[in-house]
Amino acid sequence: MGPAGRASAGLREETPDASGYDTGPLTRRVMDLVRLELRPGRPLPLGEPAEDLWIMETVAARALREAAETADGVRVGSCRLAPADGPDAVAVELRLDIHAPAGAGPPEPAERVRQRVRETADRHPGLVVAAVDIRVTDLVDAPAADDQEG
């Protein structure tokens, strides 16, 4: 019997009859964690103000994050969306923290990411990106062409 088997056997021996145990508090705690993990974020405006269309923050962030990661060697650490201030109430502001390739200066990968994000937003009618703020948080070595995980 392995370590996990011995540990679970020990728990069975030490655990009193569980038939009277109230599982309600544990279930509520687990469900609270599940809801927190699956939170869709806040609704963000999509389209013209009169259209009353919305997109959930996590859906928009996922699409824009994936677009940012199509730039060679770039990995996104965090991606945050917020409604833009000002007269254009349907626009959003995007903030990306990225890990960029060490071989290029920070402006170059940031500009590639900004371009990819804007192209993706343009392909999704109604998703207006007012600003793309990019912070390079780390410079990483680009993987070698023949270096593959196996």
State pLDDT tens for residues 17-62: 556 678 888 888 887 776 665 666 777 766 666 777 777 777 888 8
Phi first, then psi, for residue 115 (nearest 5°) are -65, -45
Instruction: Specify the pairing of strand 128-140 against strand 91-101.
Output: parallel
Residue 117 has pLDDT above 90, yes or no: yes
pTM: 0.60
Closest CA to 68 of 130, 104, 114: 114
Domain 43-140 has CATH 3.30.70.1350: yes
